[in-house]
Amino acid sequence: MSWITITLKTNSASVEILGEVLLEQGALSIDIHDAAAGTDQEQPLFGEPGSPDGQIWHESEVTGMFDRNTDADAVMQSVTKILQLSEVPVYTVETIEAQDWVRLTQSQFNPICISSRLWIVPTWHKPVDPEAVNLILDPGLAFGTGSHPTTQLCLAWLDQHLSPGETLLDYGCGSGILSIAALKLGAARVAGVDIDPHAIEASHTNAQLNACDQSNLTFATQYTVTGNTAQKVPQYDVVMANILPNPLIILAPILAEAARQGGRIVLSGILEAQATEVKSIYEQWFDMKTSIVREGWVLITGIKN
């Protein structure tokens, strides 16, 4: 079995109506993404505190997936007429062949060696070194498969610098990989936070796969630093956030408050050109250290003053 996809660009004002029209013309599903994805003009969107609601990319690509026998030209003629456009928009058509998507996805993930003692192992593989600290992971449930340079930077930092008995906040925990690694590397208590409920679900699943003691590992969709004097919000020895620069900047006061005096901040998800700006914000609270770079991505650390 196969399908076709019809893809065209549009501005933010027309995204919703265009998607609705394609569905009316028989689209089985609709995908909307940044038309500038993968370029210097890529526009990251996020739902962190302080970001405007209802954001959409300035220029989007809308893709509709149709039955293989669909007449794409006829669909676009109808779209043009319904939207009262002066001419048929530029569009592309691709054929999507049926595949074993599970096997195809699994083939993309092999065990990853972080260090001589730390490995990431997808659930369908056996550990290369059974004596190592093996992070058993179900990739695809949420961000954090271990293949991205920023995740590897954070894992390497934990492997080298986390001391047994320390506490850690993992803000933007995704699949829970960093939280689980910290616990298995000897952390006394770990809290993972992510605004996406699906990420929290994936984190719990991966924690179970790794037989984690969940009395010392918690996951939640919110982290609040304000509270009454009778219930003080905990502070941590290490605060780690592997997210985008804009939310890192917005969240700086919250993440700074979460670190105890003398505690450490570990930040990634940052391109090398963005590191100076992020560091300058956190220097209000931390003695920021030299960046570590991998494939153009940066990890920066600091000690709370």
Local confidence band at 188 (pLDDT 50, 70, 90 cut-offs): very high
Residue range 26-56, pLDDT digits in tens? 999 999 988 888 787 877 665 444 444 456 7
94 beta partners:
5
Local confidence band at 233 (pLDDT 50, 70, 90 cut-offs): low
Most confident of 13-17, 194-198, 220-224, 277-281: 277-281
Please report which helix (H) or strand (E) contains residue 277, including its range. Answer: helix 275-282
Cα 239 to Cα 236: distance, rounded to the nearest angstrom: 6
221/99: higher pLDDT? 221
Taking 70 as the threshold, does the pLDDT of residue 150 lie above it? yes
pLDDT of residue 71: 96
Contact between 83 and 21 under an 8 Å Cβ cutoff? The reply is: yes
196/166: higher pLDDT? 166
- The DSSP secondary-structure symbol of 163 reads P
pLDDT of residue 50: 46
pLDDT of residue 99: 66
Mean pLDDT of the chain: 88
Taking 90 as the threshold, does the pLDDT of residue 156 lie above it? yes
Contact between 145 and 175 under an 8 Å Cβ cutoff? The reply is: yes
Taking 60 as the threshold, does the pLDDT of residue 216 lie above it? yes
Local confidence band at 230 (pLDDT 50, 70, 90 cut-offs): very low
Q: Taking residues 190-197, what's their average pLDDT?
A: 94
Least confident among 88-102, 164-178, 284-298 = 88-102
pTM for this prediction? 0.68
pLDDT of residue 229: 38
6 beta partners:
64, 93
The two structure tokens encoding residue 60: 């989007």
Residue range 11-22, pLDDT digits in tens? 988 899 999 999
pLDDT of residue 170: 97
3-class DSSP state of 268: strand
- Domains contained in the chain, CATH given: 2-98 (3.30.70.120), 110-304 (3.40.50.150)
Cα 254 to Cα 267: distance, rounded to the nearest angstrom: 13
